[in-house]
Amino acid sequence: MSNAQLGRLLSAALCFSVSLVSLLMAAKGLSAREWLPFHQASAAADRDSLPPRVQRVLLFLVRATALAFLTVGLLLVGVPVYLVWHPDPVVSLEVIGVGVVYCGALGILTRWLHRETGARTPWRESFGAAGSLLLAAVLTLARGRRHRRS
């Protein structure tokens, strides 16, 4: 296996692994009937103690976030497929960039929530996903440079 093939395979695997987590989070959020445990810990309140309209707004926000996970997950699951047949990295880099921005921003927001409330939030996991996607972007970019030289 050549270095280019190995780089392509590793980039695809990184994108695919983040896409699976994103799709799982989307399914969890879209099927949610209440907010997530870290939301409750951050609020230091039971959901049932809140007015019904506030409960609905919080559930709306959980599901809206799940739609963002679904979008990123679907985009990233397509990258490995795209990379198999198209060595040009431009589209792949754009899609990976969307994932980096989403995961990185989610990391910033969940880190902020952790610092403000002391609750355990998934900020490390979000930054880990952003880092994985950054590595996938670097591998894609390196492969694209080698492709243009040939």
Query: Per-10-residue mean pLDDT for the chain, 150 residues long?
Result: 81 93 97 91 91 95 97 90 73 92 98 97 97 94 61
Which residue reads 């754009």 in tokens?
A: 94
Identify the pLDDT of residue 146: 55
Identify the pLDDT of residue 9: 85
Rounded to two decimals, the pTM is: 0.88
| Total domain count, the chain | 1
Domain residue limits at 46: 3-149
Counting Cβ atoms within 10 Å, is residue 54 exposed (0-12), middle (13-18) or buried (19+)?
exposed
Identify the pLDDT of residue 87: 67
Identify the pLDDT of residue 30: 97
Identify the pLDDT of residue 145: 59
Residue 31 in 3-state DSSP?
coil
HEC readout, 113-132: HHHHHCCCCCHHHHHHHHHH
